[in-house]
Structure 1
């Protein structure tokens, strides 16, 4: 069975472990921030824009991811309130993290008077890259998988992945092949990343790149949630994430169409995050 702990008893302290999931998520964050910094500089902004944003976004995203998960598992957490803050025991959701990140963007935009849509556009490619990498944490944890694969001809990676033992919430999966939905989503995210990097050089309005992210990621997540067998449910037969995917697709599409119809010019920004701002001050 896969050991999901990379380092046991760090510094000799019993129980102080570092999980592979955490390492993979950290790698996704670092890669995503690096790409966002690259995108910011390409647009004429400094790395400080992303540093200031991440100071806000990291804690808010973690809190948002946990609140989202707890809210839709309230039947359990209402009986075990002491577990609500136990993030180290697992239980976070990417949509909650995205909401937390958007809140951080709103705060920074208002505080520093930086165009909100432009900030979201800068972050969108890095966000989807981080998600693509982070999904491999599900492989280590043997979670977020799809239907059981009974056809021996389909029992191979990357179509399927072998699960040694995992509780789905309704049944125990033991020594079975299941659809490798974590891999499907990771590859889909990389495809969306390529789309965003191309579109970012053509988009005419602030916020359009992020809107395209909502559409691209939303379509892929809707498909993935339809074949996963362990997921939060809004009501029987409707996963929460699948419903939210529909909402995100609609928001993205409406925004792009509205911007095209209004054809409003982008806001001029010459503030502290511009690369030549300090030169002007000097």
Structure 2
């Protein structure tokens, strides 16, 4: 087995030979081509107890899964620079470690190998919560979208929303497509006992939530005048709203919070259901707890 170094700023894709990991690889190749980045193929293999670190560093034949993935890359984009590594052990720590210098981590949402089995055990949530870069989860099959399919982004009043919006606006600008900003809310149960008519409570709620969405987008619309922004304020659950918008989107961007804790739009079972039911690739934008990226820092976020 060979453990080549992950190149700084590369798109790292976890593969295991499954249909899901092939979909992830194809998405990673297209993204790398669009952004002029390298692709790094990572295939983690279970380590036998008697294997040593020295053994892992010994030159060996390239694993068939890696070989097939590299052939696929060369066939799709002959000039794309592709590197690879085959670390021992679980893919979760390997991907988290790679995220420290990677631009993006990409994994498949289903499959039968090391990567896919971990996905079923919430690899996307674990890596997304701990990674130091965005994590993209691609479900199989990867359905082709219209060339003008929008980027969708889930918006709430979380303190890290600037980081999520920075990624979403940059992707929409880079692809030359609209951005659909989705804010979901549900009526306060207290409305039933407030004494106000339900229609009045609902109207007031809509106004407040539209204003919240406007404040969240304030500054980003001006910074990206070339991006057409479509606002969606929906009185429904977050999962239903995000999944609905993903039907026609090329990408769905949502935020996570570090330290194994997911907040805002992705919290507990919500994250699992979004990843399981979304119709397009989902980007988990990670922000370490206690940090916030402002508009002035946007160039650092999207570089």
The TM-score, its normalising length taken from structure 2, stands at 0.25
Determine which structure has the larger strand proportion and give its number. Answer: 2
Determine which structure has the larger helix proportion and give its number. Answer: 1
The TM-score, its normalising length taken from structure 1, stands at 0.27
